């Protein structure tokens, strides 16, 4: 027998895996020649090794799915970072909005204590819900309204019934807006009505109403990007009017709505 060290289990596996030194390979070969049982063992090891390789070869030959390309992984990770940074930025924005809200609420508090605090939160809610509703439905091309202007009488009756008090649909043709129709929406405190207007160029204006008991408030200005508006409370309703327009135009529209729904316009707040 050649090769010094006696042949062990490790050598047989090393032989199967072809990772022995040439001398050791030769030694194992000689050992196999002299030991038929070892030869059978080796042959079976080789067989199962080959069987396993070919069973898995199909998987190896498959084209790599796109999601497992390094470029896709990198894109995904970059997107994740952007989204995370975006989310952080948005949280920061909300923090600012909250801080600003607190500052204004405090101002109001100084002017007229308890009454203003409650109304500030309710009205902020109105403004937020009106903004979201505007963004959702003003962008709607095929179904901007639930009941269109051809059924204006039905629209008014229906919304009045659901809001629990008679509703007046403002005429804003002097401001260049024609009524398209309206819809009923769920608001946090109950039903809300959204009236939608169009200026003929595709620019949309919404008037958002919820039934609200309590006193009058002044006009409050809101702006979210290109979208701006005023909201106020008067005669059993909270109103918000929103459009992609500047403050002056929005104020004129808000005053027009106020005049049509109640008495003299309130003084705009700062």
Partner 1 sequence: MSEMAALIEPHIPALRRYAFALIREDASADDLVQDCLERAVSRWHLRRNDGDVRSWLFTILHNLFVSQRRQTLRRGPHRPLEDVDHETGVPGAQEHAITHRDMLRALASLPEEQQSVLVLIGVEDLSYTEAARVVGVPVGTIMSRLSRARDRLRGLMNGGLMNSEEPVTLRRIK
**Applying CB under 8 A, which residues contact partner 1?**
9-10, 13, 16-17, 19, 41, 44-45, 47-49, 51-56, 58-62, 64-65, 67-71, 73-74, 76-77
DSSP label at residue 67: G
Q: Smaller CB distance to partner 1: residue 72 or 91?
A: 72
> Which residues neighbour 133 within 8 Å (Cβ) at sequence distance 6 or greater?
185, 192, 194, 206, 208
Question: Judged by CB, which is closer to partner 1: 85, or 235?
Answer: 85
CA distance 187 to 171: 24
Residue closer to partner 1, measured from CB, 60 or 248: 60
Report the Cα 206 to chain-centroid distance in Å. 22
Residue (11 or 198) nearer to partner 1, CB:
11
Of 186, 184, 140, 249, which Cα lies nearest the Cα of 195?
A: 184
Q: Which residue has the tokens 């080796």?
A: 42
Q: Smallest gap, in angstroms, from Cβ of residue 53 to partner 1?
A: 5
Q: Any idea what DSSP says for residue 186?
A: E
Query: In the chain, what's the furthest Cα-to-Cα distance?
Result: 117
Alpha carbon 120 to chain centroid, angstroms = 26
User: Is there a contact between 191 and 238 (Cβ–Cβ < 8 Å)?
Assistant: no
39 or 105: CB nearest partner 1: 39
Q: Indicate the residue among 44 and 178 with the shorter CB distance to partner 1.
A: 44
Nearest distance, CB of residue 58 and partner 1, angstroms: 7
Q: How far is the CB of 47 from partner 1 (least distance, A)?
A: 7
CA of residue 1 relative to chain centroid, distance: 76
Listed residue (185, 147, 153) closest to 169, CA to CA: 153
Minimum Å distance from CB 29 to partner 1? 19
Q: State the nearest-atom distance from the C-beta of 32 to partner 1, in Å.
A: 16
Q: CA-CA distance, 255 to 233, in Å (whole number)?
A: 13
Q: Least distance (Å) from partner 1 to the CB of residue 73?
A: 5
What's the angle, vertex CA 181, arms to CA 232 and CA 201, rounded to 5? 90
* Residue with smaller CB distance to partner 1, 70 or 111: 70
Q: Whole-number minimum distance, CB 85 to partner 1, in Å?
A: 16
């Amino acid at each position: 027998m050649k090769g010094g060290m006696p042949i062990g289990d490790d050598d047989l596996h090393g032989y199967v895996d072809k990772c022995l030194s040439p001398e050791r390979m030769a030694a194992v070969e000689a050992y196999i020649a002299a030991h038929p049982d070892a030869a059978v063992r080796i042959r079976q090891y080789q067989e199962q090794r080959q069987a396993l390789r070919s069973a898995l070869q199909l998987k190896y030959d498959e084209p790599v799915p796109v999601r497992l390309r390094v470029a896709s992984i990198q894109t995904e990770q970059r997107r994740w970072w952007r989204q995370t940074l975006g989310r952080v930025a948005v949280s920061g924005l909300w923090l600012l909005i909250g801080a600003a809200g607190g500052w204004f609420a405090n101002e109001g508090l100084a002017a007229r204590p308890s009454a203003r605090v409650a109304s500030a939160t309710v009205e902020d809610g109105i403004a937020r819900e009106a903004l979201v509703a505007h963004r959702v439905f003003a962008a709607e091309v095929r179904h901007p309204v639930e009941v269109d202007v051809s059924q204006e009488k039905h629209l008014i009756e229906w919304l009045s019934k659901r809001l629990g008090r008679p509703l007046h649909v403002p005429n804003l043709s002097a401001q260049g807006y024609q009524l398209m129709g309206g819809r009923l929406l769920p608001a946090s405190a109950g039903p809300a009505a959204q009236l939608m207007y169009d200026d003929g160029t595709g620019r949309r204006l919404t008037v958002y109403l919820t039934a609200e008991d309590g006193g009058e408030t002044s006009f409050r200005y809101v702006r979210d990007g290109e979208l701006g508006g005023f909201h106020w409370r008067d005669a059993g309703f909270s109103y918000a009017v929103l459009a992609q327009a500047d403050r002056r135009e929005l104020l004129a529209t808000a005053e027009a709505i106020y005049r049509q729904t109640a008495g003299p316009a309130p003084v705009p707040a700062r």
